[in-house]
Structure 1
C-alpha cells in the first residue's frame, strides 16, 4: 500500500511502477497447465497426506495453540507472535524506513534540489499527485506505530524498534512538509481558496499528531494521553481560526499574486473574489487602483463591488450584525463606527 501511495505521489516511482508489465508476466503462465496440476494435486492429496497418530495430533494441536505471556500478564498466540511480534515489527520497520528513504531522497531532489519535472508533468499535477497521497501515507504510518508500540508491550520496550520508529516518524514529518511545499507550489500558480487553506491547516495537524505520537513513546504515556493531546491541539486550532479573516486573506493573496498584478500566475478570478463577500472589498479596491483604467471586462466587477458595499451597509443597520471584523470594514468604507440601534428587536 505504501508503494502504491508513493507511486501516486511521486512521478519517478510512478514511472517505475508503470514499467512493470503485468500482462507480460501473465503471458508466461499457461492456464491449462496450471489447471491440470491443480486437478492432479486435488486427486493425489488424499493419498499423500499422512494420517498421524492421535497422540501426535494432540501434541501438534497444543503446540500451535501455545501462548506466551506478555508483559502485562496476558497471553499472545504463536500466530500473533509471528505476525505482530518483536521480530516481525522490527523487519517491517526496516522495510518501511527503506521505502520512505527512497521517497524522501526523490522528493528532496524535485522540491529542494531544483531537478526539472519529467516531461509532460505540470506543477498542478505534481502537487495534486503528491500532497494528499502523502498525507494518507503519514496517517497510515501513524496507525501502524500506534498498533505496533502499545504501552507496556514488548515491542515498545525494544530499543531497536524505538529507534526505527523515531527515524520513521521523522521521515513522516518530512513527507508532511513536502506535502505542504507541493501545495504551496500549486497555490502560488493557481491562487488560493478556502479548501486549500483548510488543506494547509490539516497538514499541520497531521505533522503535530506525528510529533505527539513520538512524545507519547518517549514519555511512555497512554493512548488516552495521546487522544487528549490531539483533541486539545484541534480545539486550539479551531478556536484560533474563529478570529482569522480567511476571506480577506484569500482575496488579498489572489489579488497580489495574480497575473495582472505580479506578471505571473493565473488571471484574477473576479467571480470567486466576489463570492468571498464584503471582506474581499479592500482587495478588490487594490486591484482597481493598480489597474490602468476601467476596461470593458472589469466594469461588471466594478459595479458588483458597489452592490456588495450597499448590501453590507444595509446589513449593518441591524445592531445584531455588529462585530469587530465588520467594525473594521465599516471604518474602511467610511461608515459610522457603531451601527444604528433603530432596527427592530
Structure 2
C-alpha cells in the first residue's frame, strides 16, 4: 500500500496521458467513420505505453518489440474489421505486458495472460482509483472531499443571482449575458459522449498500467497435521479407471474406431472421389450438406480421445501397437476433414458462397492442421502444452492472413462467375445479397450489370442498377472524410475512378405500325 501511495506522481502522469488519449479519441472517432484513425490511435497508445515505462529504454532489444507490434497492426491499415481490431488489441496487450516485465515466455501462457488482461481491462481504472483513495485516506494524503465541493454551492448560487441582477441593471452586462447561449452549452453535455470518454479512459488505462488479476489458490493449510494423513486417492476408483480407461480398453477402442472410420472413408472415396451414382432420392448437394459439419465434430471428438488416451508418460503412450493404431486413426480423421472440405465445395458449387461457408473452409483447414500436429506431438514426444502452443500459433497466423483477404470481393466474384446468368448453368445470382456485402462487391456487381445490360432490360435490373449508383454516392461521401481511409478503400476508389459512372440502358421503344 505504501508503494502505491509513493508512486502517486507516476500515477498522475499516467492519468494525464490517459486524458490526452481520450481527447484524441474524441477527435478521431466520436461521430466519425472508422478507418486509418484506428491504426493511428493504436500507434499513439503504443507510444504512450513506451513513455510511461522509461525503464524499458535500457533494453538493447527494445526495437524488436515495436517492430513486432507494427507488423501486428498492419491489418488495421489494410481494413478495419472486428478481426483486425481484435488482433491489434491482443498485440497491444502483449506489448504493454512485455514492457512492464510481466509477460510469460510460453505461447500457451501468453494466450492465458491476454484473456485475463481482456477480462480485467474494463475494471482496472476503477480498481486503481478505489485503492488510491483508500491509500490516501490511510496515510493522510490530500484528497478531494465532498465537503470541499459543498462549500462552493452557496457562493456560486448567490453569485449567479447577483450577476442576474447586475444584468438587469446594467445594459453592458446584459449584452454580455445575451451572448451566452445556455442551450448550446447544454448541447455540449451529451450522455453518450461522456460514456464514450469513460469507455476510452478505462481502455487506455489498462494499457498504461498493465496488471493481471491475482487469484488466491484454495487448498489445505500447511499447519494442518491431518492433511498429510488423508489418503490422496481412492484405490477402488483407480481399479475402475484401469478397467474402463486402461491399456486394454484403449487398444480395443482404437481397433473399433479404425474399422468404423475406414467404413466412412470408403463411402466418401466411392461417392465423392469415385463419382459413383448415389442411391435414388439422394442428391450430391444433400450428401455434401449433411456430412460437412458432423464430420468435423467427429474429428474433434477423436482428437480429444487421442489426447486423453496418449498422455505423455502414460503406459499407453509407450505401446508400439497403440501408437500405430493412433497414427492410422488420426490419418483417417484427416481424410474425413478433407472429405468434409470436398463436400462443402460441392455444396458451394450448387448453392453459392457465403461468409459462413468461407468460415467453414477455414475452420476445417485448422482442424486438419490440428490433427497433423497431434501426430507430430506423439511422434516427437512433446507435451500437451507444446501442442496447444503450436495450434495457437497456427490459428494466429491464419487469422492474421485473413485480415488481408477481401472476403466480400471473393464471395461476390465467385457467385457472379458461377451464376446461371453468366454461365448458363447453376442457380440464379442473388444480386441483393451481393449488394448487402458492401462496397467490396462493387466490381463483381458491375460485371454482372454490364453483362445483363446486353442480355436483358427489365425493371429488376434497372432497380438494381439504380441502387448500385446510390450506394456508390454514399460510399464516396463517406470516403471524403480522411478518417475513413484505408488501403482497401483506396484501391476500390481507384477502380471506381477508372470505371466512371454506371450508364443505364434506355428502355426499348415500341415499333410503329407500318414500319
TM range (shorter): 0.7 to 0.9
The one of 478, 482, 485 equivalent to 1:319 is 482
1: CA distance, partners of 2:441 / 2:332: 39
Corresponding residue of 2:20? none
Q: Deviations over 1:218-243 (max 9, x none)?
A: 11111111111111111111111111
Alignment pair present for 1:233 and 2:394: yes
The corresponding residue for 2:94 is none
Q: 1:138 aligns with which of 265, 286, 299?
A: 299
Give the Cα separation in 2 of the matches to 1:114 and 1:293.
37
1:301 aligns with 2:467: no
Corresponding position: 1:77 with 2:238: yes
The answer to whether 1:223 aligns with 2:399 is no
Which residue does the alignment assign to 1:331? Answer: 494
Aligned to 1:89: 250
User: Which residue in the other structure is 2:277 paired with?
Assistant: 116
Q: In 1, distance between residues paired with 2:387 and 2:434?
A: 40
Distance 2:371 2:308 in 1: 14
Q: Which residue number in structure 2 is paired with residue 17 of structure 1?
A: none
1:48 aligned partner: none
- Counterpart-to-counterpart distance in 2, 1:77 and 1:293: 76
- Measured against aligned partners, the alpha-carbon deviations of 1:118-151 in whole angstroms (never above 9, x if no partner) come to 2112233212210001000000000000000000
Write out aligned runs for 1:1-345 (5 A): 77-291=238-452, 292-334=455-497
Range moving further from structure 2, 294-303 or 222-231 = 294-303
**CA distance, structure 2, for counterparts of residue 66 and residue 246 of structure 1:** 57
CA shift, 1:323, in A, is 0.7
Cα deviation, residue 81, structure 1? 1.2
Deviations, residues 175-220 of structure 1 (Å, cap 9, x unaligned): 0000000000000011000000000000000001100111110111
Aligned partner of 1:16 in structure 2 is none
1:40-91 per-residue CA deviation (whole Å, 9 max, x = no partner) reads: xxxxxxxxxxxxxxxxxxxxxxxxx768xxxxxxxx8222111111111111
Rounded Cα–Cα distance in structure 1 between residues aligned with 2:257 and 2:354: 35
Please state whether the residue corresponding to 1:333 is helix, strand or coil.
helix
Partner of 1:298, secondary structure, is helix
Structure 1 counterpart of 2:19: none
Give the drift of 1:251: 0.3
What is the alpha-carbon distance in structure 2 between the residues aligned to residue 273 and residue 168 of structure 1? 42
- Displacement of 1:304 in angstroms is 1.1
Higher relative contact order (CA 8 A, sep 6+): 2
SS class of match (2:497): coil
C-alpha RMSD of matched pairs (Å): 1.3
Q: Which runs of 4+ in 1 moved over 3 A?
A: none
Gaps of 5+ in 2: 1-233, 499-515
User: Scaled by the length of structure 1, what TM-score is found?
Assistant: 0.74
**Residues of 2 paired with 1:329 and 1:123: CA distance?**
38
The number of aligned residues is 263
Larger radius of gyration: 2
Task: Supply the distance in 2 between the matched residues of 1:261 and 1:168 (Cα, whole angstroms).
Answer: 44
Distance 1:264 1:177 in 2: 26
